Amino acid sequence: MTPDEFRRAGHAVVDWIADYWATLERRPVTSPDPPGALAAALPAGPTEHGEPVDAVLADLDALVAPRLTHWQHPGFFGYFPANTSGPSVLGDLVSSGLGVQGMLWATGPAATELETAMLDWLADLLDLPKRFRSTGSGGGVIQDSASSATLVATLAALHRAGGGRWRRAGVDRRYRVYASTQAHSSVEKAALIAGLGEQGVRPVEVDPETLAMDPAALRAAIEADLAAGEVPALVVATIGTTSTTAVDPLPEIGAICAEHGVWLHVDAAYAGAAAVCPELRWSHAGLEYADSYCFDPHKWLLTGFDCDAFWVADRASLIEALTVLPEYLRNAASESGAVIDYRDWQVPLGRRFRALKLWFVLRWYGVEGLRTHIRTGVALADRFADRVRADERFELAAAHPFSLVCFRLQAGDEASARLLARVNATGRVHLTQTRVSGRYTLRLAVGSPFTTQTHVDEAWELLSAAADEE
Ligand SMILES: *Cc1c(COP(=O)(O)O)cnc(C)c1O
């Protein structure tokens, strides 16, 4: 493809995306087709002779788009949002065009330096503790996901807990990781990958009202393990749990970690974005205790997947844990000690130039635009929660400090499950479910930049009408 052919086809692709966004609202949010429908529609293999991009776009329209779950749809309220936006897509396009592999500073100096700058900007934007800045002992890096952030935090914590023995001799099976029963499954996965086994993870009880970690239960678990000769290595606290957006009490948890020298990782995958708004920063109180912290701009901050922002207070622990230096990667800049080589901050060697999409997003929206996006989501969730509260057939199942509302029918689990199936079958909205204290609960998460009051009101009308059928 020559640059001129690329120019023509590229314009057509950008038009295709713009048309997709403009027509999203008219599409059903999820596909009604059974499994295997796309596979059956595809040819058995590639064509012998090349085809124009127009032919691919035609098949995107005919075959692929109708069989998607449309995450950017204004009626998509499932899971947590996975925002994208025009500036994010354009930044990613530039990154693809550059094709830079930024594993070392030397293999893409601007890719590394822009990433460091963007993570420092983001740290300012969220008002994170000073020690996470690259100008001090810490620093930030983009991971593909919060799951990877938890994994590298686990490895750094094991390294620190063992005073370097972990690197030489492998995992000590006495290390223990603590997280609440509401923590994300990635905590257990990280412990499994790190070789600790399921027995290495201690689930800590939560307060039955707030669903946040009970600090007394954490203290008891750590002290019991210490008495048994085990080694508490890591506590993972959550700001905004996946099920209900509960906020673990960092001031108490942090004090316990400090007392016992345990690494504190804070997982704010979805709710971290809220801290761009000063009035929502209460959720980050106590973060000064954290050794590491992450949130996903790819969830609620208008940046397309994948983009997890991860910070450490002491970058040396992370780098010492992960660095392996073969001859073919040696270079003068690395040896000078004056540069960051992000390959030592993550699991893979290679890395995309993901800071570009953040740069495009931060510049296009500005602080003001980002705050407006978060505030809109919170206000729409409040509006929806008011409807639920005012209707005696329904009840709220948890607090809704951000843009997720958990609710259910008073009539019980089966009625609530039928309600979810009925509203999702309309194709106008998509909600998902969880269990709160054992009870079936619907989740409505607001976050698409295309979602307005009209869409949230429509979701409520559909739910209310479906509830009439109970
Ligand atoms: C979504 C979520 C994750 C996982 O996010 P990925 O970036 O997809 O790995 C981790 N923790 C919490 C609290 C989450 O809500």
Summarize pLDDT for 375-397 with one digit per residue, the tens: 999 999 999 999 999 999 999 99
Tell me how far the alpha carbon of residue 404 lies from the centroid of ligand 1, in angstroms.
Answer: 15
Q: Quick one: pLDDT at residue 194?
A: 94
Nearest CA to ligand 1 atom 8: 145
Nearest ligand 1 atom to the CA of 238 is 13
Q: Quick one: pLDDT at residue 333?
A: 87
Question: pLDDT digit string (tens) for 216-229?
Answer: 999 999 999 999 99
Q: Quick one: pLDDT at residue 360?
A: 98
- Domain boundary pick from 297, 320, 352: 352
Question: pLDDT digit string (tens) for 395-421?
Answer: 999 999 999 999 999 999 999 999 999
Q: Quick one: pLDDT at residue 147?
A: 97
Shared-domain flag, residues 246 and 189:
yes
Shared-domain flag, residues 269 and 399:
no
Question: pLDDT digit string (tens) for 24-56?
Answer: 999 999 999 999 999 999 999 999 999 999 999
> Which of the four pLDDT bands, split at 50, 70 and 90, describes residue 169?
confident
**Does 167 map to a domain?**
yes
Beta strands of 165-230 (E only): which ranges? 175-180, 201-204
Residue 12 has pLDDT above 90, yes or no: yes
Shared-domain flag, residues 143 and 58:
no
Q: Quick one: pLDDT at residue 283?
A: 97
**Does 85 map to a domain?**
no
**Does 405 map to a domain?**
yes
Q: How many CB atoms lie within 10 A of CB 63?
A: 13
Shared-domain flag, residues 411 and 344:
no
Cis bond leading into 92, ω under 30°?
no
| Rounded CA separation 116/111 (Å) | 9
CATH code for the domain in which residue 178 is found: 3.40.640.10
Mean of the per-residue pLDDT values of the chain: 96
The type of residue at 231 is: V
**Does 45 map to a domain?**
yes
- Structural domain boundaries, residue 113: 100-352
Residue 442 has pLDDT above 90, yes or no: yes
* Integer CA distances (angstroms), 139 to 96, 136, 256, 343, in order: 25, 8, 24, 14
Shared-domain flag, residues 373 and 335:
no
Shared-domain flag, residues 228 and 314:
yes
Residue 173 has pLDDT above 90, yes or no: no
Tell me how far the alpha carbon of residue 306 lies from the centroid of ligand 1, in angstroms.
Answer: 12
Tell me how far the alpha carbon of residue 126 lies from the centroid of ligand 1, in angstroms.
Answer: 18
Shared-domain flag, residues 370 and 325:
no
Q: Which of 280, 230, 278, 236 is nearest to 254 (CA)?
A: 236
Q: Helix (H, G, I), strand (E, B), or coil: what is residue 261?
A: coil
Shared-domain flag, residues 128 and 207:
yes
Residues with Cβ within 6 A of ligand 1? 80, 145-147, 184, 186, 238, 241-242, 267, 269-270, 296, 308
Q: Quick one: pLDDT at residue 213?
A: 98
Can you give the length of the chain in residues?
A: 470
Q: Quick one: pLDDT at residue 144?
A: 97
Residue 470 has pLDDT above 90, yes or no: no
Q: Quick one: pLDDT at residue 61?
A: 97
For 303-321, give the secondary structure using H, E and C. Answer: CCCCCEEEEECCHHHHHHH
Between strands 263-267 and 231-238, the pairing is parallel
**Domains contained in the chain, number:** 3
CATH code for the domain in which residue 432 is found: 3.90.1150.10
Q: Quick one: pLDDT at residue 171?
A: 85
Q: Quick one: pLDDT at residue 81?
A: 95
Question: pLDDT digit string (tens) for 251-298?
Answer: 999 999 999 999 999 999 999 999 999 999 999 999 999 999 999 999
> Which of the four pLDDT bands, split at 50, 70 and 90, describes residue 105?
very high
Shared-domain flag, residues 136 and 43:
no
For 85-114, give the secondary structure using H, E and C. Answer: CHHHHHHHHHHHHHCCCCCCCCCCHHHHHH
Between strands 201-204 and 175-180, the pairing is parallel
Shared-domain flag, residues 327 and 378:
no
**Does 88 map to a domain?**
no
**Does 93 map to a domain?**
no
Residue 28 phi/psi, 5-degree rounding, is: -65, 140
Shared-domain flag, residues 37 and 169:
no
Nearest ligand 1 atom to the CA of 79 is 1
Shared-domain flag, residues 17 and 147:
no
Tell me how far the alpha carbon of residue 160 lies from the centroid of ligand 1, in angstroms.
Answer: 24
CA angle, 241 as apex, 236 and 246 as ends, to 5°?
105
| Rounded CA separation 144/148 (Å) | 7
Residue 302, by phi and psi: left (phi above 0), alpha (psi -120 to 50) or beta? left
